[in-house]
Amino acid sequence: MPGQAVVIGGGAIGVCSAYFLSLAGWDVTLVDRGEIGHGCSYGNACLIVPSHSHPLPGPGVVGRALRWMVRRDSPFYIRPRLDRDLLRWAWQFRRYCTPEASHRGFDALLALSRASLALYEDLARTPDLEFFFRRAGLLHVYVTDEGTAGARGEREALEAAGFRTTLFDAREVREFQPVLGDGVRGGLFIAGEAHTESLGFVRAMAAACRRRGARLLEHATVRRIRVGRRRVEAVDVESRSGREAIAADVVVIAAGSWTPAIAAPLGVQIPLQPAKGYSCTIDAFEEMPTVPILIQERRVIITPLDGRVRFGGTLELAGFDPTIDSVRYQAVVRAAREVLRQPPPMQHEEPWCGFRPVAPDGLPIIDRVGADGLIVATGHAMLGITQAPITGKLVADLAEGRTPSVPLAPWRLDRFPQRLEARGLRRSH
């Protein structure tokens, strides 16, 4: 029978885990270090895109990354620094930059993302869940001859994977989205892709958890996870109301880039790097896109939301540096403005950056680890919003011991060549 579950992390992955655990009958407490939904789920690009299931490592990525390292405004930037964890991660990342690993990763991520999109459809039809959700498709646009030349091959690959696409020349893409300017040389529309408003989705799921009796504890620090006889027993938490030990039969660590630090005292090594992404959110304007737009060569996304528009992009490996690099932020804004026919008024401009958890192979980690009852769900990189519902469902499957609807083998932690220690698991804390 279900018992008590503690979910650590109040982003999209955490609230979906709490939601599906509560549906299964668990008594859930959700703990977040800040305000629920105000981490990486707050300002991301809001896309739900199975078509973007290519893992970050792939053929040619290392060469591009080395070239981009000399440009602070590049789509992928690694801040030069001596960091043992980063060097270890980069060495493993290099091993996955092969065609074989890329194809395996794409197939696995595609299955996960498609299952998640189906769950979004179910959630959007649930009477007590209200959140912004649109299946308007996704438009790739190209601003260079090289990008335009590669669009046909991109289309063939997507159609081979079962996507419906339309290839546009420069005139046709501007007819499809008249807001685009003369600098756009072509486009590729992918039908059926979706987008949401990430913070609104997280809040809606959190509210549904509350209605099901879950306790949501914000501004709370996890001091330790207690383990006795190789089973989780409790989570020691300090919040504004004081310290307490929350009894637990299952503990889910879904704290994004902070998951390794929470798991490490239990001897569980999780190879993640925080990848900083940037966004700019402004008020809706008259000539705004009706579908999300990816500027392919710049890796910048324009997402129309409910009353707002978001420009998002870039990936920066700079550790846990919370400052907004003005050069990188302005590169995102500039790329978005340059493809639009009329530069938008930047009303109520909201700059943001957040840390996306990236594993060396670019795939998430969803697995039982260490002590009995301990589950991790992290490492979704740029697909956290896309894959949040299915991850929550898989977490509930793991807690229940059910056969999952999506195979778990690709997401196991032991796929990485490392030793998982059992430090601290043999005694009660």
Q: What is the pLDDT of residues 222-238, one digit of tens each?
A: 999 999 989 999 999 99
Whether pLDDT at 73 is above 80:
no
**How far is the C-alpha of 244 from the C-alpha of 193, rounded, in Å?**
44
Greater confidence (83 vs 215) lies with 215
CB-based contacts of 348: which residues, under 8 Å, 6+ apart? 282, 283
Would you tell me how many other CB atoms lie within 10 Å of the CB of residue 414? 9
Question: Is the pLDDT score of 421 beyond 60?
Answer: no
Q: Is the pLDDT of residue 275 over 70?
A: yes
Question: Long-range contacts: 161-166, Cβ < 8 Å, 24+?
Answer: 161/51, 161/106, 161/110, 163/50, 163/51, 163/190, 163/191, 163/192, 164/190, 164/191, 164/192, 165/189, 165/190, 165/191, 166/191
Does the pTM exceed 0.75? Answer: yes
What was the pLDDT predicted at 2? 87
pLDDT tops 60 at residue 427: no
Positive or negative, the Cα torsion across 413, 415, 417, 421?
A: positive
Average pLDDT over every residue of 139-152: 95
Q: Is the Cβ–Cβ distance between 44 and 234 less than 8 Å? A: no
For residues 159 and 118, what is the distance between their CA atoms, to the nearest angstrom?
19
Return the half-sphere exposure (C-beta side, CA atoms, 13 A cut-off) of residue 57: 22
* Token pair recorded at residue 102: 């890329």
Q: How large a percentage of the chain has pLDDT more than 70? A: 95
pLDDT band of 75, cuts 50, 70, 90: confident
pLDDT level of residue 83 (50, 70, 90 thresholds): confident
Q: What is the pLDDT of residue 405?
A: 83
Supply angle C-alpha 42, 44, 46, rounded to 5. 105
pLDDT tens digits, 113-145: 999 999 999 999 999 899 999 999 999 999 999
